[in-house]
Amino acid sequence: MEFNKKVSNPMLVGLLELIKEEDTPEHRNMLVGELQKAELLAPAIIDPAPEEDGEGGMKLAAASNIRFPMLHGPADSLMFMGFTDMKEYEKWEKDNRTFPFFALKFDDYVALLMQKDAGGNPCPAKGIVINPNGANLLVPKDIIAGIMGARMAQALRQTDRKAGQGMRIPFPAQAVPGLRKDPADDPKEN
């Protein structure tokens, strides 16, 4: 999560357009892959407000409180916003007040969606809306949970494969009296 970092996601923008034209499982998988690599702009409410740093930029106070506003989505659900680039952010900003922004990664959104407040209540957001004044792609929380589950399963498979490729250490038969040695360890028996 980086403050006031401008981003560009041409592959993600292209996939959003492609899915409008031809929504296939292959295109959706490509979109999911690109979404996991992308950084999206997210407007933020920061208290105290950022101050100029003397070099034309803005800096945050050490103990800033940062909140991310949400949009009302279908059935009055709340959605976090993500913008693929400054052009999309500025489209939304024209109809709203100016907010500072952060560049958030997919995992940052996951953390926001899964967090609980001080009272232990779950986050009220039901997902992410990407480019609300453009492609307006809704990514519900259950789809995000499915993506995370698939990532975890893939990581477990890779861990299992690496464990199975470990170095084979011959067991010394003489360590236990009466135990035959493993024939694989004896070059004469192979």
Residue 182 lies in a domain: no
What's residue 188's pLDDT? 53
In this predicted model, what pLDDT tens digit does every residue of 91-122 receive, in sequence order? 999 988 888 899 999 999 999 999 998 899 99
Using a pLDDT cut of 70, give the percent of the chain over it: 84
**Residue 12, H or E segment:** helix 10-21
Q: Looking at per-residue confidence, does 186 or 144 come out higher?
A: 144
What's residue 180's pLDDT? 44
- Residue 124's domain comprises 2-164
Residue 180 lies in a domain: no
Residue 189 lies in a domain: no
Answer for the pair 174, 167: CB distance below 8 angstroms, yes or no. no
Mean pLDDT of 121-149: 92
Whole-angstrom Cα Rg for the chain? 25
What's residue 181's pLDDT? 45
Q: Looking at per-residue confidence, does 28 or 174 come out higher?
A: 28
Using a pLDDT cut of 90, give the percent of the chain over it: 52
Residue 91 lies in a domain: yes
Q: The tokens of 97 are what?
A: 């007040």
Most confident by average pLDDT, 136-145, 157-166, 168-177: 136-145
- For every residue of 106-136, DSSP letters joined together read HHHHHHHHH-B-TTSPBP-EEEEEESTTTT-
Answer for the pair 51, 119: CB distance below 8 angstroms, yes or no. no
Residue 169 lies in a domain: no
- pLDDT tier at 60, thresholds 50, 70, 90: confident
Residue 178 lies in a domain: no
Residue 149 lies in a domain: yes
Total domains in the chain come to 1
What's residue 21's pLDDT? 92
